[in-house]
Structure 1
Amino acid sequence: MALNFFDPKTELTKDKNLREDDIKTLIDWVNKQAHLPKINEVQAILFLQSCNYRNEAAKSAIDSYFTVKTFCADLFGGRNPLQSPLRESLNVALFAFLPKKTPQGDTIIFMKLMDSNPDNYNFSVQLKHFDMVCMLGLHQEGVSNGHIIVLDMKEVVFGHLTKLGPLAMKKFLYYLQEAMPLRLKGLHYFNIVPFMDKILALMRPFMKKELLDMLYLHNTVDDLVKFVPRECLPLDYGGSVESTHVIHEKTKNKLRENCAFFDWEDKQVVDESQRAGKPKNVSDIFGVEGTFKKLELDIKKKMSLNLADVKCEYSKNPTLKQEDVKSLMEWVNKQPHLPKINELQAILFLQSCYNRNEAAKAAIDTFFTVKTLCSDLFGGRNPLTSPNKDTMNVSLMTPLPRETPEGHCIFLFKLIDTNPDKYIFGDQLRCFDMMIMRHLHQCGTSNGHLILFDMKGVVFGHVTKLGPLNMKKFLYYLQEAMPVRLKGLHFFNIVPFMDKILALMKPFMKKEMIDMLYLHNTVDDLVKQVPRDCLPQEYGGSAESMTILHEKMKRTLCENSAFFEWEDGQKVDESLRPGKPKNVGDYFGVEGTFKKLELD
């Protein structure tokens, strides 16, 4: 049976960067390595092109490719699709090269569970299945400008998570990043599940920064198609490609028809006894299997809070004294009603209060008390479940990567979905706070903070969703408790009914906040006070586009569900407060007192 490879001459014709002498040099080198199997022109082209025509990188990839495949027979050996366990595994999941490339010439590698029963899911066998689809596609269809992996999580349940082994994960992610002849351009998960953080906790220790930077999480297919053209997707997702069921059947048949290819692949192994120098073994690449036991039993530990380094905070804040921080921590930890705080939290509050210890004490007490009493705004902070998951699609809330020359951090807010029916004010405030608190705890202090609101998509229907009690609660929290050094509150692209919004805000704003409130008709007015180059591309700035910032922030929040779970656990116990316990009425009055304001 013929192996049916792509035509090397065709590849040389269509790829002007591919040179025949580079291919010959690579083949000659490989075929002189006593421990490596012989390779053909097709294989040389795949590795050379995937390594951006760098011969030395291609040599390293080829050695890693055959070495890993030889050592990891559990993942890469026994590739007969007509025999168990592969025969059954083909029915469990769809892995396919979609027929339509993106406008950039990237091939989409699509994944989806077809059988949602976790009892039928074998992680190692599915990794083998995925590699078989990829290697057959590469050898028969030839190279692409890039490859985008798209994973639909819709049918994934928690039972699948329990099947993911960290050693198999490490092996495959090493192979994907160091050996597989793909030009990976993106790794997109969509229809993400509430336990996505657990999956990422298992993956991230084995991912290089380059792979992490191309990882995207999308709640829905509508989020995905901002990055991957819908027309390239199957019919099920509104695309122009055949349905997933048709593609699945075609892919299974193609694998079954190419047993000879997989038999040929199985025979391409290294002979370590012939390697120049010291022979390698599996522990040289992946460590000892036993070292993964603790990781497997303690996934949650991998979900570290990733807090800012306190040593860096002392370095960048010369007026911050370690004895003041220690004194503040000791005071807090002696208050029976307050939760324990760590050194970073003490630094955040002390620095935001300009190193005034008594002011920091008051802010900390107010912070935890308001967050506990106002659980409607500050509780339930899991970014992977509704309503937070849906709220993140409605608006962009993000710190911008570049600070102002004064060292001020900029937080940008803008509606992405302008339908007021999808706008829930309390949920937006919660997510806004989540974004800021995550940033403060992981990026540390700044000289000041600016909040920018782009009003462009705001309609009057949004105003009707603004509740005065929630407005009072959040503005009180922002002014009295949140550990930020607020330097400016800028609204731009303001709307004709801005006076109505201000009428709702101003009764709850101190003079200091009103004095830092600015209204700008356009972005050109805004940049008279906020440097344009700090802003996203859409405003003429040097920061990434808002689409990319939005996706990155959603991913960041989703990856940090452990942080928000930790935050949710930090509550006051009013039964232990010295003196009279406090309640929400002590801070915000009786809710009924807002009825007239709401109607008027």
Structure 2
Amino acid sequence: MESLLVVTSEDKKQILKYYNVTENNIKEDVAIIQTWKEKQPHLPPTLSDDFIEKILLRNKCRVERTKQKLDNYYSLRGHNKNLIRDFESIVPSKHVTIYLPMPNLTPNLERIVIMKIMNPSPIAYDIYEVIKVNLGIEELSLQHDYSVGIRYLFDFSGFTLNHLLRINPLPLGKHINLIEKAYSQRILGLELINFPSFANKILALMKLVLRPKIYERVRIHENMESVYKVIPKECLPFDYGGTLTPIAEQLKKWDQAIEDHHDFFVENYNNVSMEHLRPLESKPNECFGVDGTFKNLAID
């Protein structure tokens, strides 16, 4: 994973500086969270310091928020097991879409994630399969990555109205909620390129499923020169005029990473909150766990 999610010692130093904390601060906070966790019988009996540290950093080193997000990770995944099933079977290079984190952090310590359709056939487009590859890669990112958040580059090349019609807003909304509330991912921006003529319909869907704060971070770019003002070339693949290796080569490495983590995915599928053991004073977080509704998206 070191070559897929590169985090140098200088990157780590700058991230701690960004949050105005020291390594000792992190160790002290992790110890506090471990003590709290021992009083939560519904959570797994053993959580590594490293895993807690990853979630602590994704939550701006705020202890109480980290406790809630740890609870979310196990409870929300348990409530949405249909969305986290079969991660071990993912083959990123052969998938209908890509969810591809770039190996290098930006100068702002952000992780860039490229999303794009690879198979243009609308019949092959299944929103549940799209969600599976996205969350599977997020699962690995949570275990290994350091960054201050992610910035998406959405490439709408090949995306048609027929694709849009196959998107059910309900699972899409749950997917985004899992990204933010379970995997503690900070969405810093959504950069859209090759936007189609039916842009208003895509934006309507985004407005439906994104929190207002995140929707305000959506930007439409007319060309790559505009993108380079936000994402430097050294953080983009050759396919987009960048200096990193082509997307196809990077996907092959992710194929291997998924294969290498086969046992982890199989075991982690059932590593969820045991709600029958939850203390009475510890109420489950009502952040879109099981049901939830959306207004219908009208597409004329």
Task: Give me the TM-score of the superposition, normalised by structure 2.
Answer: 0.84
Residue 81 (structure 2) pairs with residue 381 (structure 1):
no
Query: Is residue 372–residue 379 contact of structure 1 (8 Å, CA) maintained in 2?
Result: no
SS in 2 for 1:571: coil
Write the mapping of 1:165-180 to structure 2, written as runs, cut at 5 A. none
Tell me, in whole angstroms, the C-alpha distance in 2 between the residues paired with 1:349 and 1:562: 22
SS in 1 for 2:197: coil
Tell me, in whole angstroms, the C-alpha distance in 1 between the residues paired with 2:220 and 2:129: 25
Residue 103 (structure 2) pairs with residue 401 (structure 1):
yes
Residue of structure 2 in register with 1:430 after alignment: 132
Query: Is residue 120–residue 158 contact of structure 2 (8 Å, CA) maintained in 1?
Result: yes
- CA change 1:598–1:486 in 2 (3 A) is closer
1:347 Cα offset (Å): 0.7
Indicate the RMSD between aligned Cα atoms, in angstroms.
3.0
Residue of structure 1 in register with 2:116 after alignment: 414
Residue of structure 1 in register with 2:199 after alignment: 498
SS in 1 for 2:280: coil
Query: Is residue 314–residue 321 contact of structure 1 (8 Å, CA) maintained in 2?
Result: no
Query: Is residue 92–residue 98 contact of structure 2 (8 Å, CA) maintained in 1?
Result: no
- Per-residue CA deviations over 1:221-258 (Å, capped at 9, x if unaligned) read xxxxxxxxxxxxxxxxxxxxxxxxxxxxxxxxxxxxxx
Tell me, in whole angstroms, the C-alpha distance in 2 between the residues paired with 1:420 and 1:553: 24
* % identical equivalent positions: 24
Residue of structure 1 in register with 2:32 after alignment: 327
SS in 2 for 1:334: coil
Tell me, in whole angstroms, the C-alpha distance in 2 between the residues paired with 1:423 and 1:580: 43
1:555 Cα offset (Å): 2.3
Q: Which gives a bigger RCO, structure 1 or 2 (Cα 8 Å, sep 6+)?
A: 2
SS in 2 for 1:478: helix
Tell me, in whole angstroms, the C-alpha distance in 2 between the residues paired with 1:589 and 1:372: 9
Task: Give me the TM-score of the superposition, normalised by structure 1.
Answer: 0.44
**Aligned match of 1:360 in 27, 42, 66?**
66
SS in 2 for 1:597: coil
1:396 Cα offset (Å): 2.4
Residue of structure 2 in register with 1:317 after alignment: 16
- CA change 1:470–1:571 in 2 (3 A) is same
- Per-residue CA deviations over 1:431-477 (Å, capped at 9, x if unaligned) read 112112213313x3113321211111211121122111112211222
Query: Is residue 93–residue 251 contact of structure 2 (8 Å, CA) maintained in 1?
Result: no
**Aligned match of 1:342 in 33, 40, 48?**
48
- Per-residue CA deviations over 1:361-383 (Å, capped at 9, x if unaligned) read 11111222111111111133222
Residue 187 (structure 2) pairs with residue 486 (structure 1):
yes
1:436 partner letter: E
1:441 partner letter: Q
Q: Which has the larger radius of gyration?
A: 1
Q: Which runs of 5+ in 1 are unaligned?
A: 1-211, 213-307
Query: Is residue 235–residue 244 contact of structure 2 (8 Å, CA) maintained in 1?
Result: yes
SS in 1 for 2:154: strand
SS in 2 for 1:484: coil
Tell me, in whole angstroms, the C-alpha distance in 1 between the residues paired with 2:221 and 2:15: 33
Name whichever structure is richer in helix by fraction: 1
Q: Which runs of 5+ in 2 are unaligned?
A: none
Query: Is residue 80–residue 289 contact of structure 2 (8 Å, CA) maintained in 1?
Result: no
